[in-house]
Amino acid sequence: MAADKSSPMEKSWTIFKEYHIDEDVGFALPLPLEELPHPYDAWISIARNLPELINNNQLRVEVEKLAKLSIDGLRGHKAQRLAHLVLGYITMAYVWGRGDEDIRKVLPSNIAVPYCQLSEKLGLPPILLYADCVLANWKKKDPNGPMTYENMDILFSFPGGDCGKGFFLVSLLVEIAAASAIKVIPNIFDAVQREDTDTLQKALLDISSSLRKAKKAFSQIHEYVDPNLFFSVLRIYLSGWKGNPLLSEGLLYEGVWDTPKKFAGGSAAQSSIFQCFDVLLGIQHTVGGVPSDFAAEFLQEMRTYMPPAHQSFLLSLKAKPSVREFVLSKGNATLQKTYNECVEAMVSLRNYHLGIVAKYIMIPASRQSKVERSSEEASESESKGTGGTNIMDFLKTVRVKTVSCLLKED
């Protein structure tokens, strides 16, 4: 009987566990593994030395020497996630090489076959994802120390020095800051069900506070990521082969499919945390469940790049009573103001993201376009995000949708 008396908060982590959501790090993988057993350590060895192998023109030679391994020895979710991360790094390095015009359009079967088999097992696409390079690519230097940039590192790097470390870790710290609000979600739905406006208001205040913390975490990008290094070195290794003129037909996964396949590169749109708050707050990017524009379509597609457990969590939120409709129905000015603070915090984050994109992509791209380009394809790809969209148009459309969800004062 004692279990029945437990609060929504006490029940919540039992519920969240089935959705692979952690109390401390949210959607991130808690304490990722760093090593794989023999013979998969051969993959780790290449991934650990990517920058040097790329610089010495040895990366592709070493990859082509690898044996084709069965994935049967990869036991447990964490080992499989580490292998997916490692094969994603190797694939990006093999395809893009030194980041010049020497691009490979075929991924050899010794990598393609295990990568695609593992991807199918995990329910993920065979390309480096946000769920890999951000959510599963970290460790603490001091295991007992805090989750701060200074006490953290990434497991694998691309060329560009510490630029990748800065980009991936700041993205992770944004996730973790926002994740502190996940724990109040059961309280919110419990309050709506019981028509308890005081509890709802307190929970919404927690949400807006967490979103403000996320924006503060995001500001660390200026300190740790150099715009020119990001644009000219790191960015190509995060780019996919969908909506990318540099690989317009896609990538052929040898031994898996007979025709090239198109997959989008890693994108912040693949983060479950902000789509989670969109659903929770009723920020609609669809009309009657159908994407209302290209931005909504892209967001919907990016859900298929999230771990299946996280996709299921977003669907479970969608099935709950509408928080927005409840707030509207109460006609309570204070409650509406608190709800609006959450939406405003989302708008503020999206505004900030636009500023980051201008600094790290659009301004370097405009400088580069003034220099004679070697090909039209290269110049066309500069204004696109790593996910393959026209990134400024996408972010502005999402921001407009978010602003439109603010409740009007009577």
User: At 405, is the secondary structure helix, strand, or coil?
Assistant: coil
Measuring CA to CA, which residue among 89, 84, 88, 72 is closest to residue 32?
84
Measuring CA to CA, which residue among 410, 108, 38 is closest to residue 252?
108
User: Count of H helices and E strands in the chain?
Assistant: 20, 6
The structure tokens listed for 308 are: 């299946």
Strands 252-253 and 152-154: unpaired
Q: Where are the domains of the chain?
A: 23-404
Q: Mean pLDDT across the stretch 103-128? A: 98
| d(C-alpha 200, C-alpha 350), whole Å | 24
The predicted-structure confidence for 298-338, as pLDDT tens digits, reads as follows: 899 999 999 999 999 999 999 999 999 999 999 999 999 99
**What's the confidence (pLDDT) of residue 66?**
98
**What's the confidence (pLDDT) of residue 288?**
59
**What's the confidence (pLDDT) of residue 2?**
40
353 marked ligand binding residue: yes
| Mean pLDDT over the full length of the chain | 91
Q: Looking at the predicted structure, is the pLDDT value of residue 379 above 60?
A: no
* Amino acid present at 64: E
| d(C-alpha 239, C-alpha 251), whole Å | 12
* Amino acid present at 193: Q
Q: Mean pLDDT across the stretch 343-354? A: 95
The predicted-structure confidence for 142-188, as pLDDT tens digits, reads as follows: 999 999 999 999 999 999 999 999 999 999 999 999 998 999 999 99
Confidence of residue 392 (pLDDT cuts 50, 70, 90): confident
**What does the DSSP assignment read for 10-75?**
HHHHHHHHHTT-BTTTBTSPSS------TTTHHHHHHHHTHHHHHHTT-HHHHHHHS----STT--
Q: Mean pLDDT across the stretch 268-294? A: 83
The predicted-structure confidence for 181-240, as pLDDT tens digits, reads as follows: 999 999 999 999 999 999 999 999 999 999 999 999 999 999 999 999 999 999 999 999
Half-sphere exposure of 317 (CA within 13 A, CB side): 27
Q: Looking at the predicted structure, is the pLDDT value of residue 43 above 80?
A: yes
Q: Which listed CATH number (1.10.10.10, 1.20.58.480, 3.30.720.120, 3.40.190.10) goes with 23-404?
A: 1.20.58.480
Q: Looking at the predicted structure, is the pLDDT value of residue 59 above 80?
A: yes
Portion of the chain with pLDDT greater than 70, in percent: 89
Q: Answer yes or no: are the C-beta atoms of 51 and 158 closer than 8 Å.
A: yes
* Tokens 């980051």, residue located: 356
**What's the confidence (pLDDT) of residue 372?**
45
Question: What's the pTM value of the predicted model, to 2 decimals?
Answer: 0.92
> What residues contact 115, with CB distance under 8 A and at least 6 apart?
84, 87, 88, 91, 107, 126, 253
Half-sphere exposure of 350 (CA within 13 A, CB side): 24
Confidence of residue 256 (pLDDT cuts 50, 70, 90): very high
Q: Mean pLDDT across the stretch 64-69? A: 98
Portion of the chain with pLDDT greater than 90, in percent: 81
The structure tokens listed for 239 are: 């780019």
Residues linked to residue 253 through DSSP beta bridges, in sequence order: 107
